[in-house]
Chains A and B, each alone.
Chain A
Amino acid sequence: MGSKTTYLEAIRQGLMEEMRRDPAVFLLGQDIGTYGGAFKVTEGLLEEFGAQRVLDTPIAETAIVGAAIGASMMGMRPVAEFQFLDFMGNAWNMINNFAARNRYRWGQGVPIVLRGPCGGGVHGGPFHSQNPEVYYAHTPGLKVVAPATAYDAKGLIKAAIRDEDPVIFLEHKFLYRRIKEELPEEDYVVPIGKAATRRQGGDLAIITYGAMLYKALEAADELAKEGVECEVLDLRSLLPLDEEAILQVTKNAGKVLVVHEDTRTGGLAGEVMALINEGAWEYLDAPPLRLTAPDTPVPYGPSMEEFFLPGTGDIMDAARQLVAY
Chain B
Amino acid sequence: MAKTKTKRSTKATAPLTTRTSLDAKGHREIYRYMLLTRRLEEKLGNLYRQGKVVGGLYRSLGQEATAVASAYALGPDDFLAPMIRNLGSMLVRGVQPVEMMRQYMAKGDGPTLGKDLNNHFGDVAGRHLIAPISVLGSLVPVMAGIALGGRMRGDSIVALTYLGDGGISTGEFHEGMNFAAVNKLALVLVAENNGFAYSTPTANQMAVDSLVDRAAGYGVACEQVDGNDALAVYEASCRAVERGRAGEGPTFIEAITFRMKGHAEHDDQRYVPKELLEKWAAKDPLDRFRATLLDRKILTSEDFEAMEVEMRAELDAAQDLAEQSPPAPPERALEGVYYDTPRARDPRPRIL
Query: Would you call B12 an interface residue if the criterion is a C-beta within 8 Å of the partner chain's C-beta atoms?
Result: no
Residues facing B in A45-68 (CB within 8 A) are 52-53, 55, 57-58, 60-68
Contact of A66 among B121, B142, B341 (CB under 8 A): B142
Nearest B residue to A62 via CB reads: B175
One digit per residue, 1 when the CB lies within 8 angstroms of any chain A CB and 0 when it does not, for chain B 98-117 equals 00000000000001100110
User: C-beta contact mask, B104-138 vs A, less than 8 Å → 1, else 0?
Assistant: 00000001100110001110100000110111001
A71 within 8 A of B: yes
**B residues less than 8 Å from A259 (CB atoms):** none
CB distance from A323 to the nearest CB of B (A): 27
Say which one of B60-68, B148-156, B250-258 lies at the interface with A.
B148-156
Interface string of A73-102 (1 = CB under 8 A from B): 111101000000000000001100110001
Q: On chain B, which size bracket covers the interface?
A: 35 or more
Contact indicator B138/A97 (Cβ below 8 Å): yes
Please state if A66 and B176 are interface contacts (CB–CB under 8 Å): yes
A65 CA to B138 CA in the complex, in Å?
10
The reply to whether A71 and B131 form a contact with Cβ atoms under 8 Å apart is: no
A108 close to B (CB within 8 Å) = yes
Instruction: Contact check, B152 vs A71: say whether CB atoms are below 8 A apart.
Output: yes
Chain A residues lying within 8 Å of B307, measured Cβ to Cβ, are none
**In the bound complex, do residue A103 and residue B175 qualify as a contact, i.e. CB atoms below 8 Å apart?**
no
By secondary structure, the B interface counts as loop
Taking the complex as formed, is B97 at the interface, i.e. its CB lies under 8 A from any CB of chain A?
no
On chain A, the residues within 8 Å of B124 by CB distance are: 73, 108
A74 and B149 contact, CB distance less than 8 A = yes
CB-CB under 8 A from A104, the residues of chain B are 115, 336-337
Most buried by B among A57, A97, A107, A143: A107
**B residues less than 8 Å from A109 (CB atoms):** 339
Q: How far is the CA of A58 from the CA of B155 in the complex (A)?
A: 24
Contact between B146 and A70 (Cβ–Cβ < 8 Å)?
Answer: yes
B138 touches which of A26, A58, A93 (Cβ 8 Å): A93
Question: Bound state CA distance, A66 and B142, in angstroms?
Answer: 4
In contact, A62 and B150 (Cβ under 8 angstroms) = no
A141 within 8 A of B: yes
* Contact between chains at A60 and B178 (CB < 8 Å): yes
Docked complex Cα distance between A104 and B159 (Å): 23
Q: Among the listed B115, B146, B340, B349, which residue makes an inter-chain contact with A164, where contact means beta carbons less than 8 Å apart?
A: B340
> How close is B252's CB to chain A, nearest CB, in angstroms?
16
Interface residue A21 (Cβ < 8 Å from any Cβ of B): no
* Alpha-carbon separation in the docked complex, A63 to B147 (Å): 13
Tell whether B241 is near chain A: CB-to-CB under 8 Å: no
B133 → A minimal CB distance (Å): 5
B285 interfacial contact with A, CB 8 Å: no
Q: Which chain B residues lie closer than 8 Å to A69 at the CB level?
A: 141-142, 145
For the complex, is B191 an interface residue (Cβ under 8 Å from A)?
Answer: no
CA distance A97 to B116 in the complex (A): 12
Q: How large is the interface on A (under 10, 10 to 19, 20 to 34, 35 or more residues)?
A: 35 or more
User: Which residues of A have CB within 8 Å of B242?
Assistant: none
Pair A76/B152 contact, Cβ less than 8 Å? yes
The proximity string for A residues 127-145 relative to B, scoring 1 for CB distances below 8 Å and 0 otherwise, is: 0000000000000110100
Check B189 for interface membership: any CB of A closer than 8 A. no
Is the CB–CB distance between B176 and A63 below 8 Å? Answer: yes
Contact with A along B206-229 (1 / 0, CB 8 A): 000000000000000000000000
CB pair A141–B142 under 8 Å, yes or no, is: no
Q: Contact flags (1/0) for B146-176 with A, using CB distance below 8 Å?
A: 1111101101000100000000000110011
Distance of B349 from chain A, by nearest CB (Å)? 8
B168 CB, nearest partner CB in chain A, Å: 14
Q: Which residues of A contact B179 (CB under 8 A)?
A: 57-58, 60, 63-64, 66-67
**How distant is B128 from chain A, measured CB to nearest CB, in Å?**
10
| Chain A CB within 8 A of B144 CB | yes
Given contacts A66-B144, A105-B121, 16 further A-B contacts (CB under 8 A): A55-B183, A57-B182, A62-B171, A62-B172, A63-B141, A63-B178, A66-B145, A67-B142, A67-B179, A76-B149, A76-B153, A105-B112, A106-B111, A141-B338, A163-B339, A163-B340
Q: Provide a sorted-by-A list of 30 A–B residue pairs whose CB atoms are within 8 angstroms.
A: A58-B179, A60-B179, A63-B141, A63-B144, A66-B141, A66-B144, A66-B175, A66-B176, A66-B179, A67-B144, A67-B145, A67-B179, A69-B142, A70-B141, A71-B148, A73-B146, A74-B148, A74-B150, A75-B153, A94-B142, A98-B138, A103-B336, A104-B115, A105-B112, A105-B115, A106-B111, A141-B338, A163-B340, A164-B339, A165-B339
